[in-house]
Structure 1
């Protein structure tokens, strides 16, 4: 049985409890630092989605404060990551250069930037400009130029296409930036092995934990917001109970 450890805390504080050089894979979706930017944009997103991330309060830091927080995140990640471990960070395209610079400062090797394409995005402002249907992800390895890559001889592009998160994965509540399980499972299965330790320091609604449990990985998840933490805990416990029954 895989192990699950969940922390309702600030990620930097919680990661101090994680052993040095113990993590094989980090898959995470930190704040994009777009809250203030989006509030000044001509968009009807806030009207269409009641939990719009720009109004949630956790993505409205000033850039310098956000940059410092991400620097601390990469510093903590470097301590817990095994040599040859892998990291996937979802990020706004306009912040990718900053993320790469901070990661390389702490020993992470930049592999590539890829795209997640949503096949059914929210059609906001469709008569004004191009519909926003993509998000970036950044791929790193730690202290080496290669890591686990379970491609089975197949060619995987840096372009991943799925639908947005289905309603069945939101039954414990809604998170404004929740990623679909199929997207996260794509990375977990390719970039780690059964019994590996997977960490998500910005766990949100717990998708990475659900996928880790399903694919027989050990998981450590951290989420500061109590509402989202409880949501994640319920989802992961449901998957744990399903595994026991099977």
Structure 2
């Protein structure tokens, strides 16, 4: 990594950087990471409402989540995904999560840039919030794309471990059977929000599965939109090194750094 960027928080296994993700990533050396998990803005802060704990609340999360229009949103996704391609090691892989508001733009950018898509994971949420309008289906899943830099790359996939291990309350995963591309994992529990709430916080169980599926002990993992630090928590829990980037100082210092400490 370049000395141009200094982490706002650092330990022997964790580095958190504050700033624009494109600027921070540009300071890192080529092929620095074995795995990237990205949860980019979904661009769904459109003044609408959703249901949270049985109460109608605004979907607005902040300026960072507002759409700038189709072309600008696509340009942003193409830029950060291209940087990820530069930063991944030859056999490394990227995971990108999103809803229908953003995931198709990300998928288009991946294919346009020549990545090879491995899987489209459906993260099913058994405890998803109801739909308030009652005029469409209840949104109860998110999509997670898994891709490698090119078709000939030899990605890490811990097949036997996934097949034989216990996976909590995921009723879709049958004992000693291949893991399917639909994962039943509940939304983030309150017990994981001790240090504060992030509007798009992912459950630890989800990131643990991703990291255990596609990385090895000692690997370096990057999250360019690290938010509450869940990717980092899963990384250090399973003996990986973690680098996180976010443009919100409050999230990095009040939530991520405290969780990772």
Q: TM-score per shorter chain, which class?
A: 0.7 to 0.9
User: 1:57-136 maps to which residues of 2 (within 5 A)?
Assistant: 57-62=63-68, 63-125=70-132, 127-136=134-143
Structure number with the bigger relative contact order (C-alpha 8 A, sep ≥ 6) is 1
Please state if 1:150 is matched with 2:158: yes
1:27–1:208 Cα contact (<8 Å) kept: yes
CA 1:232–1:18 in 2, change beyond 3 Å: closer, same or farther? same
- In 2, the alpha carbon distance for the partners of 1:187 and 1:205 equals 17
Q: Which residue of 2 aligns with 1:224?
A: 247
Checking the alignment, whether the CA contact within 8 Å between 2:131 and 2:137 is kept in structure 1 is no
SS at structure 2 position matched to 1:35: coil
Residue equivalent to 1:211: 234
User: Gaps spanning 5+ residues in structure 1: where?
Assistant: 238-246
CA RMSD of aligned residues (A): 2.2
Deviation at 1:186, TM superposition (A): 0.4
Distance (whole Å) between structure 2 residues aligned to residue 157 and residue 139 of structure 1? 13
Partner of 1:3: 13
Match of 2:213 among 166, 183, 190: 190
1:161 aligns with 2:184: yes
Supply the distance in 1 between the matched residues of 2:116 and 2:223 (Cα, whole angstroms). 19
Residue 139 of structure 1 deviates from its aligned partner by 0.9
The total of aligned residue pairs comes to 232
d(CA) in 2 for partners of 1:186, 1:49: 31
In the alignment, the residues of structure 2 paired with residue 49 and residue 21 of structure 1 have an alpha-carbon distance, to the nearest angstrom, of 44
Q: Specify the SS of the correspondent of 1:228.
A: helix
TM-score of the pair, normalised by structure 2: 0.82
For residues 5-84 of structure 1, the aligned pairs below 5 Å read 5-36=15-46, 39=47, 43-45=49-51, 48=55, 52-62=58-68, 63-84=70-91
TM-score for the superposition, normalised by structure 1: 0.86
Higher helix share: 1
